[in-house]
Structure 1
Amino acid sequence: MYSDEIIDGVGGMSKFQALVIFVFNGPKLITSWGMLMMSFAGVTPQLWWCVNVINNDASNNTGLKQCSVGDNSTTCAFVYSTEKSTVVNEWDFVCDRAGIRLLITSVQMGGVLIGALFSGQSADVIGRKKTLFIALLLHGGLNLVAAFSVSWQMFIVLRFLIGAMVGSHLVVSFPYTMEFIGKGWRQITSAITFWQFGSALFAMSCWLRPDWSDQHIILAALHIPFLACWFVAPESLRWLAVHGKLEEAENVVDQMARYNKRKKPANTAILLKKLSEEEKKRRNSDHKYNYRDIYRHWDICWKSLVIQVIWMCMSFSYYGISFGVGNLAGNLYLNMFLVSIIALPGTTMVFFLSSRIGRRWTTFIFFSVATIGAFGVVIVSRVVSSESIRGPATTTMALICRFGVGSAWNSFQTTTSEQYPTVIRNLGYGAANTAARVGSIVSPYAFAMGGEDLLPPFVIVGSTMAVCTLLTVLLPETNKTPLADTTVEISRRDYTLDKDVEEVSEEKTVRKSSLEI
């Protein structure tokens, strides 16, 4: 609460905040490439043939998309169409090796889980700035090395490490940015479309240069301007204050006031000291917060469990559709672009709706849209008999589902961060991201189990989105409420919100009774 007063005093949304948004959220343009790389690199070329090899002699017997059948002396020499170069034709991930392609994606998402798990703790121990830029530096370097992988075993290890760096960046960047934004403008962090633009640019890049190795090199080069931002990026004001680094925290306030051409509040030092002292009362002098703290007290524990279930379901649906885009009817690159760009209108809607009707009902609406889209795919795939109509219709409904879940995720990110106080915000956000990776790890297999049949995966997607829709209404509304800095404040704030709701309800009852009289 004290930090909100300081930030609003020097400009809750001005030039400095615009710089912060670019420096901390801008790298999502490139981490989206790292996350979604296998949506292109894992696609099987349109045509492939098995040329039977008997006793080391190639025969004229070839099979279009058919694996070799015969005795032990018969093997396949695979030949692929040349419209794209992916890891499938690089290491022959077809027939009995087709499962390796799915394994690489799942291992990568396992890396995202590990990165999310450790970066939440790291950001609260060594700081947001160091954690974010270390992850970004390693992400660029690992992608460059991955471009020159000499075996699929080397590639899968690198994809795991790349996933860990993506997870680290995602966990830190959002709450890091939000901690510099005034309470009336926090929803703008969900409306910024860096991730969507990045994934759309990735689709265009793959269309222009359809080679998995070249895409890794291009991605590595794009890190340079963002890494240069280290020299202007400030550490989190809130993190410095709650860790007792008051002089450094005041220097950040000076920097904010200078950029925004505003005067620093005269009581800045007093507010920072109060924030630091209140936190010291809540912990021992040598106590370090850890993930147990988001489950220690029931008023935070139940919200953490609900948040994590929702994140797991969102991630399953979001990345399942992203990595399964090759199964949709139509042009691969156009579908990749549409799957990415479809979320842009939603981000604008989230920005305006979350301020007017609140975070909770905004998220509820978009989860409902995702549920309708998913079950729409199921219905169309079984009811429509004409292939010329069924293909475009199922793709359209899948895009509607992707629009819904992507927009709901944008809205729910803000809700998640606002549910936790500063001292455990990154831990709570990190735990939510960790739960999300469980969903993303299993999503490639769920979307592959039906082959070209979209019914099985979208039945699961529709069911999970329906669960998210119901769970959303359980969380308290946080629109235009101060960010809590300590665990004491979060309990006090939720009690105040509940009391306000009760008072409003009582007032409406009194008015209704008066009208009846």
Structure 2
Amino acid sequence: MGETIEEIFDDIGGFGKAQWICTVLISYMFLVAAWSMMQMAFAVKIPDWYCVEETSVNDTQQYGSQQREQLQQLYTNRSDLFQKCSLNQSSCASYDFVTPMRTVVNEWSLVCDHKWIPSTMISIQMAGVLLGAVLAGQLSERWGRKRCLTLAAMWHIVANVVAACSTSWGMFAACRFLIGVGIGGIYTNTFPYSMEFLPLKQRASVALFPFWTFGVAIFVGFAYVLPNWRYLHLGCAAFCLPGFAIWFIVPESIRWLTVEGRLDEAMEAIGKLAQWNGKPVPSDARPTLEMIYYKRKQERKASGSYSYLDLFRDAYLLKCSVVIAFMWASMSLISYGISFGAAGLAGNLYLNILLTNCVEIPGLLPVLWMMNRIGRRWTTVIMFIIITITTISSLVVNLKGSSANERVVFWFALVTKLCVDTGWNVIQAWGTELYPTVTRTLGYGVATTSARIGGMLAPFLINLKTRLVLTYVTITCLSITGIFLSFLLPETRLAALKDNLSSTASSSLSGNGAELESGIPLAGKPEQNGIQTNSDQNDHDSSSGKESGHGDSNVTAVLINGAGHEKSKEYVT
């Protein structure tokens, strides 16, 4: 009899048509989250502006292309007016933004005394993402992955539409907080939900697929064609609509249904996947799910429902949570510091946003090979080592005062972003595999929360234009710390996903990350340990005049021999 849900997936077709459909539809929400997150890199962009003494119209959208050219010619030799907050010791009466780009900066003249507002909006958004991650992690364990992801998508659409109708920067900032809550809910549910449908061998490849990068690329193309922050928010809301196909097509997580005791729904979901793949449902699927639920039930009797506190009560989960949280925070701080700072790099804004977010693509296949060949741990260590070497080399070049500093900073940003983003994908898969199903989205919520904290700190610690030394020192320290912390976590390259805390405990004690997840220490027949066999169910249903729907009366129980190893014994009733 199969002992893990992975074996059931293998029996119904492995990574077949069903898994492709579920993975693509769920991961589509990554594209939505990427667009929504990175549109702030455009929305708070400060266009070129000039101080004017007398009141004039500063609404750039009222200028046609000819008028903008005339304004640019007018200000060509007036460098004394370029981005000046005062003239002749008197404040500017207004500001002329001579650009077709429409951002919240020229919408509400967020310069001079209000220049702190755009960067604060980014932190407000990240605070919303943090709250959304915390709420989603808890609610998805109670309500399920599917329901929470759908609710987050609905919330996200409404918040974007309202944001597009903002009448003040304060209203817009509040809407960005609400949008952040939606992003946090989407991000926290999407990856664990998709991973819980996958067989062991395909988890790494799906983790590295650049859904986020594609979302950023789509956003950049849309922003280039329609450089208006209002249109971008409406476009993001519309872009989210296809995600509702998840509700109608993708079943709830089989793992979550199992540990919650909803075995009939879990079997229905398995049947749906098997039908899509053209495979029969394995006869041992139900007994396997029953044993996993039995273990979960025993744990629930002892500890009740799980919450974030459980991640810090268990020694194994505490170690995983602290290390993964630090790594996510570090990766987020570096990645978003470079991404939101793309406007400060030399060159075109749209191209810089695209390059800094798509540079990871060339590294995905090598990293995938490394994950499956040398494991998650050593792949992560190598990424941190490359980041450290690149950062120290760039620091030395800049301290020597090279005339090519701008080029050095640009290539440093690309190489570092490449290693950070690919390494983050590895850590994302690694962390998901370390947690059991009963706390997986809780652990993912803690990781996402830590990433948002890193994102909020990014504008203060990472600045490629004015604080290069601080940037290099910060990244170097975080990378070196990440190298050492990597060795505290068990390798999961050959490990089945765990469903219960006891399976992680046995894995932790043995020092081997590849133990099976659902072996139950039973001694004797199943009915002696409180498990209802198929034949018992048939007898019960027959006496009550109902059909059980399970014709197989063979029951397999897991026994523990004297050496502590598991073996199967079949009972025929």
1:102 matched residue in structure 2: 119
2:429 matched residue in structure 1: 414
1:283 to 300, 304, 308: 300
1:485 matched residue in structure 2: 499
**Superimposed CA distance per residue, residues 95-140 of structure 1 (whole angstroms, 9 cap, x where no aligned partner):** 1211111100001001110000010011100000000111112212
2:86 matched residue in structure 1: 68
Structure 1 residue 313 corresponds to structure 2 residue 330: yes
Relative distance call for 1:286 and 1:21 in structure 2 (3 A) is same
- Segment of structure 1 superposing worse, 220-229 or 367-376: 367-376
1:442 matched residue in structure 2: 457
1:24 matched residue in structure 2: 26
Structure 1 residue 382 corresponds to structure 2 residue 396: no
**Superimposed CA distance per residue, residues 361-414 of structure 1 (whole angstroms, 9 cap, x where no aligned partner):** 11111122222333344333333432xx32122101111000010000000101
1:392 to 403, 407, 428: 407
Relative distance call for 1:499 and 1:477 in structure 2 (3 A) is closer
1:495 to 506, 509, 523: 509
Structure 1 residue 195 corresponds to structure 2 residue 212: yes
CA contact (8 A) 2:85 2:91 kept: no
Q: Give the drift of 1:453.
A: 4.5
CA contact (8 A) 1:367 1:469 kept: yes
* Mapped partners of 2:391, 2:188: distance in 1: 28
CA contact (8 A) 1:12 1:183 kept: no
* Mapped partners of 1:380, 1:327: distance in 2: 19
Amino acid at match of 1:20: C
- Could you tell me the percent identity over the aligned residues? 36
2:263 to 238, 246, 250: 246
2:287 to 266, 270, 284: 270
Amino acid at match of 1:463: C
Please say which structure displays the higher CA radius of gyration. 2
2:138 matched residue in structure 1: 121
Amino acid at match of 1:483: L
* Mapped partners of 1:399, 1:381: distance in 2: 16
2:68 matched residue in structure 1: none
Q: Give the drift of 1:314.
A: 0.9
* Mapped partners of 1:36, 1:398: distance in 2: 17
CA contact (8 A) 2:157 2:238 kept: yes
CA contact (8 A) 1:308 1:436 kept: yes
**Superimposed CA distance per residue, residues 311-349 of structure 1 (whole angstroms, 9 cap, x where no aligned partner):** 111111111111111111111111111111101122222
Q: Following superposition of structure 1 onto structure 2, how do residues 305-344 of structure 1 map, counting pairs within 5 Å?
A: 305-344=322-361
Secondary structure at 1:65 match in 2: coil
CA contact (8 A) 1:3 1:275 kept: no
1:259 matched residue in structure 2: 276
- Segment of structure 1 superposing worse, 395-404 or 20-29: 20-29
**Superimposed CA distance per residue, residues 64-118 of structure 1 (whole angstroms, 9 cap, x where no aligned partner):** 11111566x6444111121411111111222121111110000100111000001
2:490 to 458, 470, 476: 476
Q: Give the drift of 1:435.
A: 1.1
Secondary structure at 1:79 match in 2: strand
Q: Following superposition of structure 1 onto structure 2, how do residues 134-153 of structure 1 map, counting pairs within 5 Å?
A: 134-153=151-170
**Superimposed CA distance per residue, residues 279-320 of structure 1 (whole angstroms, 9 cap, x where no aligned partner):** 111112992210011111112212211111111111111111
* Mapped partners of 1:146, 1:322: distance in 2: 22
Relative distance call for 1:499 and 1:428 in structure 2 (3 A) is closer
Q: Structure 1: where are the runs of 5+ without partners?
A: 55-59, 502-517
Structure 1 residue 36 corresponds to structure 2 residue 38: yes
CA contact (8 A) 2:208 2:422 kept: no
1:182 matched residue in structure 2: 199
CA contact (8 A) 1:48 1:65 kept: yes
* Mapped partners of 1:140, 1:350: distance in 2: 34
Q: Give the drift of 1:184.
A: 1.8
CA contact (8 A) 2:42 2:229 kept: yes
- Segment of structure 1 superposing worse, 216-225 or 250-259: 216-225
Structure 1 residue 93 corresponds to structure 2 residue 107: no
- Segment of structure 1 superposing worse, 187-196 or 231-240: 187-196
CA contact (8 A) 2:494 2:514 kept: no
Q: Give the drift of 1:350.
A: 2.4
Secondary structure at 1:78 match in 2: strand
Q: Give the drift of 1:148.
A: 1.7
2:532 matched residue in structure 1: none
Amino acid at match of 2:137: G
**Superimposed CA distance per residue, residues 455-493 of structure 1 (whole angstroms, 9 cap, x where no aligned partner):** 322321232122222211221100021111100000112
Amino acid at match of 1:49: Y
Structure 1 residue 301 corresponds to structure 2 residue 318: yes
* Mapped partners of 1:245, 1:17: distance in 2: 21
Secondary structure at 2:508 match in 1: helix
CA contact (8 A) 1:3 1:271 kept: yes
* Mapped partners of 2:427, 2:434: distance in 1: 11
* Mapped partners of 1:69, 1:374: distance in 2: 41
Q: Structure 2: where are the runs of 5+ without partners?
A: 56-74, 516-573
TM norm structure 2: 0.82
CA contact (8 A) 1:484 1:490 kept: yes
Relative distance call for 1:458 and 1:298 in structure 2 (3 A) is same
Amino acid at match of 1:421: P
1:234 to 251, 268, 282: 251
CA contact (8 A) 2:17 2:276 kept: yes
Relative distance call for 1:484 and 1:314 in structure 2 (3 A) is same
* Mapped partners of 1:40, 1:373: distance in 2: 28
Relative distance call for 1:357 and 1:289 in structure 2 (3 A) is same
* Mapped partners of 2:344, 2:390: distance in 1: 17
